[in-house]
Amino acid sequence: MSIKEKQEVQGGDDTMKSYAIWNNKGGVGKTYLSFAMATEYARQNPDKRVIFADMCPQANLSEILLGGNGTGAARLADLIQQRRTVGGYFDRRTRSPHMITGSETSFLIPVHGTNKSIPENVFLIAGDPSLEVQAQVINQLSSVNLPVDSWKSIHLWLRDLLVACAQQQGIENTVCFIDCNPSFSAYTELSLIAANAIIVPCSSDGSSARAVDNLSQLVYGVGVQNDYRSVNFYDRCIHFGLAVPVIHSLVFNRSTEYDKRASKAFSAMFDEILSRAENLKKSKPSSFQGGELKTFTVPDNHSVAIVSSHLGKPLFDIKPGRYQIHDTEPQINNEPLERYGKAVEILVQSL
């Protein structure tokens, strides 16, 4: 194996198992899938410590975990004011860009203490709208010539934070789930470098197929023009010896089902997405975990995501029945609830 190949796959002995949930498009149900999947992982693995890192400026995941609509928003606002968020940590790193601060674990929130519906082994690095402004600072700090590894040390900020928190909890027994913003901004680059693997949610539309092509270029450098080789994410990671995360799986999300099979129209679009992923696998087999292209289908969640998010309750804690959500009363039926829950269980068992 060449040095370059080693650099592509190395993960580092100091890191923990970590997943970035990301696609270069919005509207794929990414945040709720992150919530459902990671809380289910916590339920299935009570001996593990599960850390959510909310790297989306909207911070919807944090709001759900902290108690749902209303309650969760108020609790998140308090954390933002106290700067006990990922944005608060980045504030400190802008003053100490090349060294950890020693305060990393103070940003880890035990979620059960705030929301009793969440398993006790779940922790949160809360999201923060200031990530948008900080992205500009990250780009500026990364572009300076001295020290020579500025790009590397700046892009390790999130990984530094998560590793320090995982070491406190026991790094071998800690798993991180990073909810990413669709844009390929500076904070998304930090998120991907902090992850070992990427879970790619897809919806049944043409933009999801194009997003797979975008991912191929943005993360793995496929088709990047030579003029941009020195500045693209993949080549910079290789240059600085940073591991590029592999793709764990594609998750076909929100697929309408009839007689337990995806409708023909949805299947046709997912076939196109799969074809784009196969093209990536042919051109760069090392971009997939174990060299395998894995796919999962998560069926329509109907009203489940609305109720679960509003109440701040995990999927496994939602029961059939009618719920009062603002001025609506969504009905949760047993069959779609079980179908969705089973699909999430199967996905989690693959992690």
Domains of the chain: 3-349 (3.40.50.300)
Other residues' Cβ atoms within 10 Å of the Cβ of residue 280: 21
- Cα–Cα distance for residue pair 95/124, rounded to 1 Å: 23
Q: Which contiguous run of DSSP H or E holds residue 201?
A: strand 197-202
**From first to last of its 351 residues, what are the pLDDT tens digits of the chain?**
333 433 443 344 467 999 999 999 888 889 999 999 999 999 999 999 999 999 999 999 999 999 998 899 999 999 999 999 999 999 999 999 999 999 999 999 999 999 999 999 999 999 999 999 999 999 999 999 889 999 999 999 999 999 999 999 899 999 999 999 999 999 999 999 999 999 999 987 778 889 999 999 999 999 999 988 888 999 999 999 999 999 999 999 865 655 555 567 677 888 899 999 999 999 999 999 999 999 999 987 768 999 999 999 999 999 999 999 988 899 999 988 999 999 999 999 999
Q: Give the CA distances from residue 261 to residues 83, 188, 296, 299, 323, in Å, rounded to whole numbers and listed in that order.
A: 47, 34, 13, 9, 28
Does the predicted model carry a pTM greater than 0.85? yes
Q: How far apart are the first and last CA of the chain?
A: 27
Q: Which helix (H) or strand (E) is 341 found in, with range? A: helix 334-349
**Contact indicator for 56, 33 with CB cutoff of 8 Å:** no
For 247, list phi and psi in degrees, rounded to 5: -85, 120
Which strand ranges, in their side-by-side order, compose the sheet holding 174-180? Answer: 109-110, 122-125, 49-55, 174-180, 17-21, 197-202, 246-255, 295-299
Tokens found for residue 112: 């059960």
Which backbone phi and psi does 101 adopt, to 5 degrees?
-90, -20
